[in-house]
Amino acid sequence: MISATRALQRADGGEFDLTAIVGALSARFAVVTGSMQLVRRKRLDTFDRRLHAAGFTLEHQIVEPGERLVLGRLDGSSTVAVPVKGLRWPATADVLPLGPVREAIAPVTGVRALMVALDEQRRMRRLELCNEDGKTVARVELDEPASPAAEPAQLMVRRLRGYDEQARRADRLLLGLGLRAVENGADRRPSSAPKTSSVDRAVPARVLLTTALSDFLVTMRENLPGLLDDVDTEFLHDFRVAVRRTRTTLKLGRPALPEVMRSRWEPAFKRLGDLTTPLRDLDVYELDLPTMATWLVTADPADLEPLATHLRSRRTAARHALVRFLRSARFRRLVTEWDLELAGLVDSPEGADRERLSAGQLADRSVSRAYRRVARGGFVIRADSPAQDLHELRKRCKELRYALEVFAPVLAKGPRGRAVADLKDLQDVLGRFQDCEVQRRAMRGFAEEMMTEGTKAGAVLAMGELIGHLDAEQDHARRQFDSAFARFARPSSLRLMHRLGGRR
Amino acid sequence: MKVFATYNIKGGVGKTSTAVNLAYLAAREGRRTLLWDLDPQAAATYLFRVRPRVRGGGHALVTRRRPIEAALKATDFENLDLLPADFSYRNMDLELDDTKKRTRRLGQLLDGVADDYDVVFLDCPPSISLVSENVLHASDTLLVPLIPATLSLRTLDQLVRFVADSKGSRPEVVAFFSMADRRKRLHRDVIDAISRDGTRVADTVIPALSIIEQMVERRAPVPAFAPTSRAAQCYEQLWAEVRPR
């Protein structure tokens, strides 16, 4: 097995002189030069570069007459190759053949689809470096572009397990030809998470808000093609998160933003968010269905098949409706005009602010206000409070969370991190409570729809079991609320929030 | 990690050929595969052009003075590594006898590389010994090549009893005919007459073909140097019968 790889390049990134390379290596090895192969190489990763972040590289290589998937580590420490046939991208890891590649990749990619990040033709040639027994003790691969726009030529020295010294020798011989080692470059990872590099607290609040809103617009635009093509469910999720962050930022930024933001853009983004909700809810039900099947006690998982079919058909309809809107001139206009609005905000003179607030002042005010709202909302929750009250509290928690995220560049990193951690626990409990509430009601609604369509009793009974389970789960979450809120509202948390809110 | 052992009390029945060819086929499918050549004769090691030497010998491995990973060698084939034979393996019984849990030590050593490999093949020396007991405990499937002869069936009975009498987890025994010559009436009769009631007998029969003997000259598995040959196809069929699902 290959235990490590080192990549080398010519200083000018140009192509290699095969004769010189073979000549140099022949000083220590019997070199068997393979024939040149034209390889179509598709580098795969998820949209948010999960494989790269986890230190993996994955390539779908098509070399006549076969295809293979090659999984490696970014540091070249190991490589596994698996023959494959007819794989099409984008696709989730479920399409990969059972075995080591899928086992390594599937937990990393999760629900995200693998997409082609880079597609290029390469000219590959392999040199086997053999010892006196004719045993290959190291490999050198010449990897050169077959088209001018492709990545520059590279030469890989592949170290074989148990023959490290021989690979080092090959390395030394090649470095003697003037080749230089290639470092693995950093990769930009698209993410809906706001940027957190620190900013001077004295900058106008409008500048910080505009930057955040522009970032959210970039995220919406980045996720739009994947959403439209239905590549995976995370595109819609990330799109929605960007919309929700935009709405919260507009709300938090009211004191520092022009009136048009409140009168026009807040309702516009609320409508956009609302339009995406039905599809996201159905995505969640579909994704959760395998877990739900494990809750069944008396019913059989197969009894849920009519529900799966019903969800699929509802999802198709919801998707069509959303896609129709996202492809409409109205949506295009919304995005274009929002972009112009943000550009205008950047260019407008400083005096145009409703209040001359610095980013630090607005951050303090917003965090403090959001925290007070959560605290007030939490203290009035009683054992008999309706579910709606907990839902309202959940929304306030989200506002506080977004405030901590949007204003992260002007908040102290340590206290902010601890505040987010404290809040997360409470959000988790409230999230589970509300999810159970919504899912229970949705299940009832689906059951009624399915019964009018003539679904068999077995499916409805199985859904009844799911509702029972959700009921118990919701009770469990409700019981956990008091302690979660007590932790959130403990004196040390309060002091932390006061520090973040500008009080000393 | 699934562990196969090619094992028979008799020698010269095709254990090494089977281990080498099936390990190659497993690796070709993309499974990370290890072949441990436990036979001090080092035939599998020779076939992969690896030097039959383990630093510190069997003693260092069994006593864990040297980690098993340090002795592994990549073969010329992707996804396929070899733990080479060493002449000191002839004393492995004695080495194992001196350890705690002496019948389970090989399995314990393999546990150390369980994350690195999907399939392991143990190419065993012909004997019934402490090494054999270790192999029984370490493996999930015992692949037993049989030359179609009456004495071979008797040997199989002995082996099945040996497995049945062993304590703890027992591997599945899968016998198959090897080096079969359909031109010989005795071979045909034995193949047709074998009872498939008790022990699992694979449908695939590996014929006696000169191309299998050529592995020694070519120093490579048959499917690597003669991928369309009948022998390669037979090993592919055998692998299809026994491979992990």
Would you call B32 and A97 a contact, using CB atoms and an 8 Å cutoff?
no
Question: By three-state DSSP, how is residue A112 classified?
Answer: coil
Distance CA A331, CA A323 (A): 10
pLDDT, position A349: 62
> What is the tens place of the pLDDT at every residue in B49-68?
999 998 888 888 888 888 89
Q: How far is A50 from chain B (nearest CA, A)?
A: 22
Chain B residues in contact with A134 (beta carbon < 8 A): 49, 219
Three-state SS sequence of B24-65 = HHHHHCCCCEEEEECCCCCHHHHHCCCCCCCCCHHHHHHCCC
Q: For domain B2-242, say whether CATH 3.40.570.10 is its number.
A: no
> How high is the ipTM of this complex?
0.86
The reported pTM is 0.70
Question: By three-state DSSP, how is residue A491 classified?
Answer: helix
Would you call A1 and B80 a contact, using CB atoms and an 8 Å cutoff?
yes
Q: Whose structure tokens read 């080479």?
A: B84
Distance CA B38, CA B136 (A): 13
**DSSP 8-state class, residue B133:** H
Would you call A80 and B118 a contact, using CB atoms and an 8 Å cutoff?
no
Would you call A99 and B29 a contact, using CB atoms and an 8 Å cutoff?
yes
Closest CA to A402 of A221, A251, A272: A251
Nearest CB neighbour to A1, from listed B29, B32, B48: B32
Positions in chain A short of pLDDT 70: 1-4, 183-197, 348-355, 501-504
Would you call B48 and A135 a contact, using CB atoms and an 8 Å cutoff?
yes
Q: How confident is the model at residue B115 (pLDDT cuts 50, 70, 90)?
A: confident
pLDDT, position A55: 92
pLDDT, position A355: 61
Would you call B74 and A97 a contact, using CB atoms and an 8 Å cutoff?
no
Angle between helices A457-488 and A305-326 (to 10 degrees): 70
Nearest CB neighbour to B29, from listed A83, A160, A162: A83
In a mutagenesis test of the B interface, which of A1, A73, A161 is the best target, namely the one with the most B β-carbons within 10 Å?
Answer: A1
Would you call B79 and A163 a contact, using CB atoms and an 8 Å cutoff?
no
Q: pLDDT exceeding 70 applies to what percent of chain B?
A: 99
Q: Phi and psi at residue A123, in whole multiples of 5°?
A: -100, 120
Distance CA B242, CA B22 (A): 10
Is the Cβ of B24 closer than 8 Å to some Cβ of chain A? no
Question: Is B235:B21 a contact under the CB 8 Å cutoff?
Answer: yes
Q: Phi and psi at residue B142, in whole multiples of 5°?
A: -100, 115
Is the Cβ of B219 closer than 8 Å to some Cβ of chain A? yes
Residue A333, beta-bridge partner list: none
Q: Whose structure tokens read 């340090």?
A: B70
Report the phi/psi class of residue B121: left, alpha or beta, with left for phi > 0 and alpha for psi in -120 to 50. beta
Distance CA B127, CA B131 (A): 8
Nearest CB neighbour to A81, from listed B79, B118, B219: B79
The residue of chain B nearest to residue A82, with distances taken between CA atoms, is: B30
pLDDT, position A185: 46
Is the Cβ of B123 closer than 8 Å to some Cβ of chain A? no
Question: Is B223:B232 a contact under the CB 8 Å cutoff?
Answer: yes
Q: How far is A85 from chain B (nearest CA, A)?
A: 12
Q: pLDDT exceeding 90 applies to what percent of chain B?
A: 55
Q: Is the peptide bond before B148 cis (omega within 30 degrees of 0)?
A: no
Closest CA to A9 of A185, A177, A187: A177
> What is the tens place of the pLDDT at every residue in B140-156?
999 999 999 888 888 88
Q: Superfamily assignment of A2-181 in CATH?
A: Hypothetical Protein Pfu-838710-001 (2.40.320.10)
Closest CA to B82 of B46, B136, B133: B46
pLDDT, position B244: 85
Chain A residues in contact with B80 (beta carbon < 8 A): 1
Cα angle for residues B180, B184, B188 (degrees, 5° grid): 65
Question: Is A43:A58 a contact under the CB 8 Å cutoff?
Answer: yes
With an 8 Å Cβ cutoff, the interface of chain A facing chain B consists of 1-3, 69, 79-83, 97, 99-101, 128, 133-136, 160-163
Would you call B74 and A101 a contact, using CB atoms and an 8 Å cutoff?
no
Three-state SS sequence of A399-444 = HHHHHHHHCHHHCCHHHHHHHHHHHHHHHHHHHHHHHHHHHHHHHH
Domain ranges of chain A: 2-181, 205-500
Distance CA A482, CA A494 (A): 17
Would you call B30 and A83 a contact, using CB atoms and an 8 Å cutoff?
yes
Is the Cβ of B32 closer than 8 Å to some Cβ of chain A? yes
CATH architecture classification, A205-500: Alpha solenoid (1.40)
Distance CA A269, CA A244 (A): 8
Strands B172-180 and B33-37: unpaired
Q: How far is A58 from chain B (nearest CA, A)?
A: 14
Distance CA A469, CA A292 (A): 9
| Tokens matching residue A18 | 């095969």
Q: How confident is the model at residue B93 (pLDDT cuts 50, 70, 90)?
A: confident
Report the phi/psi class of residue A299: left, alpha or beta, with left for phi > 0 and alpha for psi in -120 to 50. beta
The residue of chain B nearest to residue A164, with distances taken between CA atoms, is: B73
> What is the tens place of the pLDDT at every residue in A100-131?
889 899 999 998 999 999 888 899 999 999 99
Domain ranges of chain B: 2-242
pLDDT, position B190: 87
| Tokens matching residue A406 | 């949007």
What is the average pLDDT value for chain B, to the nearest integer? 90
Q: How confident is the model at residue B17 (pLDDT cuts 50, 70, 90)?
A: very high
Nearest CB neighbour to A80, from listed B72, B73, B79: B79
pLDDT, position A187: 46
Question: By three-state DSSP, how is residue A300 classified?
Answer: coil
Nearest CB neighbour to A99, from listed B30, B50, B73: B30
The residue of chain B nearest to residue A68, with distances taken between CA atoms, is: B30
> What is the tens place of the pLDDT at every residue in A345-367?
877 665 555 567 899 999 999 98
Identify which has the larger pLDDT, B182 or A342. A342
In a mutagenesis test of the B interface, which of A29, A131, A135, A157 is the best target, namely the one with the most B β-carbons within 10 Å?
Answer: A135
